[in-house]
Amino acid sequence: MRLRSIAPLFVRALILAVAVANLGSCSSVPYQVRTGTVRTSTLHDMESLNMDRAAPILIRIYKEERTLEVWKQDQTGKFALLKSFSICKYSGKLGPKIAQGDYQAPEGFYDITPDQMNPQSSEYLSFNIGFPNAFDRSLGRTGSFLMVHGGCKSVGCYAMTDYGMEEIYGLVAEAFQGGQAKIQLQAFPFGMTAENLVRHEQDPNASFWQMLKTGNDAFLEGGQPPSGQPPTVAVCDQRYVFNPITIDRDLDPSGPCPPEIIGQSPMAYQTRDQFAQKIRQILRDH
């Protein structure tokens, strides 16, 4: 006997509930179980870059360039670019995700853990980005099921081709198998150059993007730990702070940043005016 003839009202109610739950986010309905694959050409790249197959990784996303990068730790302990993938589709426009149903793909600093992996995704393969994080929650931002996934269609997610997602998923899975507890994902509106920020300086999100550039620079240019390491990310005063000096208390994401952090180098904490002045100086030097 067909399910429809047994309980048509229940089935329709279940479908409606799933649709409502996923409004403004990507579907997580279970489907066929799959596994990722790290391809032979990528393994050869690891060898040439002196990277162990089980070494930790980091993911960087650029909306405007429609690019997802996988960085991997080499045998010196630094992270280097392993491979770039084209983003097939993301929904929304440049700017952060604010609320459930706005169809925006998130921007910011997120952590992926093993329990966020979904080998049974209806979108081929997927992992949850981790939105909302502490920064998002401090601002009352809402949303759920924001993913990197296959399928090349997006409702607030970063959608890859199935072929690309198969290898991205494989790289993430092997890093977890190698002992990495969490993988940092950095999602940017565009390449975090001073020129790009000046190009968008009239955008309402300009101060938010300046803050993201601070984290970008903490990874690429220096600070503690040295460049080439994912920055330690914390939140206070409803803003990201990067590589903060260790203090003996937890930070309140909505409360003021303590003097120990504000008094650090500008790499850890910058006001909008301080950052704008730095960008102008960079452009003059060029």
Residues annotated as catalytic are: 149, 157
- Pair type for strands 67-73 and 79-86: antiparallel
Q: 108 to each of 47, 60, 116, 189, 208, how far by Cα in Å?
A: 31, 10, 17, 9, 9
Distance (Å, rounded) from C-alpha 267 to C-alpha 153? 37
Please state the φ and ψ torsions of residue 65, each to the nearest 5 degrees: -85, -10
Bond into 132 cis (ω within 30): yes
Radius of gyration, alpha carbons of the chain: 20
Distance (Å, rounded) from C-alpha 257 to C-alpha 138? 13
Distance (Å, rounded) from C-alpha 244 to C-alpha 153? 38
Is the distance from CB of 133 to CB of 233 less than 8 angstroms? no
Nearest to 269 by CA among 219, 232, 215: 215
- Count CB-CB contacts under 10 A for residue 92: 19
β-pair partners for 80: 72
